[in-house]
Amino acid sequence: MALQKTLIVIGGPTASGKTALAIELARHFGTEIVSADSRQIYREMTIGTAKPTPEELAAVPHHFIDSHSIHDTYSAGQYERDALVLLERLFSQHDVVVAAGGSGLYLKALMEGLDDFPEIPPEVEHEVEALFAEKGLPALQEQVARADPAYYEVVDRHNPARLLRALKVIRATGRPFSAFRKSRPAPRPWRQVPVLLMPEREALYARINRRAEAMIETGLLDEVRRLYPYRHLRPLQTVGYQEFFPWIEGSRTLEEAIRLFKRNTRRYAKRQMT
């Protein structure tokens, strides 16, 4: 692969315009888009993950959109391996490829590589997943904070996937998760051009609120109802779905669910910006 190959990587908070810019750049360079969004890979989750529209998907080829089912086990490490294989093929056809996404772990996997962690025994996997299913996010936060305070200081504490991964490594090895983290990024055989979209906060929050209302109007509630039987699966432990499950169960009003959906999306965007 020639060193002049270039990966343009578009990052930024949710609703900041990453999809539109990625499509504009991909059309300009006559190339394809690699998604780095950990939720849009799931074909059952469409409206709540703000996937590109059918028209946008038809404008240029996209990869890692609707590529997996919520019933699949898929990790950021698997994404890194799959993305590297894909990029080798794409760079054999194009000098420039565009990547876009708001999932920090997927962007890190793509640009720098992830840390090399040990294999987790199935019984530890089950044990930690059962803890999360039974006691929720606070139990993960408490145990990671106690076992690895250094990592707990820097991790996104509201991201269950990261806390689950840390706790599994801690329990499997008896060592802090931070002991396995490397300081140097893995070399990539292409030039990387990061593009960070950072809208003014108030404008972004207003856009998030409008998009949330549009999602409701275009069928988000029906999508949530269809996915309710699978609410225990990890892909559904996320903003845009969790807020509405209590509404289906009758323990929360629709108005409150929508308020929390908007609030939690704004909080997620704030974490992405810091």
DSSP string over 45-82: --TTTTPPPHHHHHHS-EESSS-B-TTS---HHHHHHH
- The string of pLDDT tens digits covering residues 39-92 is 999 999 999 999 999 999 999 999 999 999 999 989 888 999 999 999 999 999
- What is the pLDDT confidence band of residue 272, given thresholds at 50, 70 and 90? confident
pLDDT of residue 256: 98
Q: Which two tokens stand for residue 54?
A: 């059918």
Residue 144: partners with Cβ closer than 8 Å, 6 or more residues away: 151, 152, 155, 163, 166, 167, 170, 177
10 in Cβ contact with 197 (< 8 Å): yes
Q: Are strands 6-11 and 62-63 parallel, antiparallel or unpaired?
A: unpaired
- Other Cβ atoms closer than 10 A to 197: 18
Percent of the residues in the chain that have a pLDDT greater than 90, as a whole number:
80
- Whole-model pTM? 0.84
Q: Which residue has the tokens 């888009």?
A: 33
- The string of pLDDT tens digits covering residues 210-266 is 999 999 999 999 999 999 999 999 899 899 999 999 999 999 999 999 999 999 999
pLDDT of residue 3: 55
Asked if the model's pLDDT at residue 2 lies above 60, the reply is no
> What domains are defined for the chain?
6-115+184-196 (3.40.50.300), 122-180 (1.10.20.140), 201-273 (1.10.287.890)
Cα separation, 190 vs 187, whole angstroms: 9
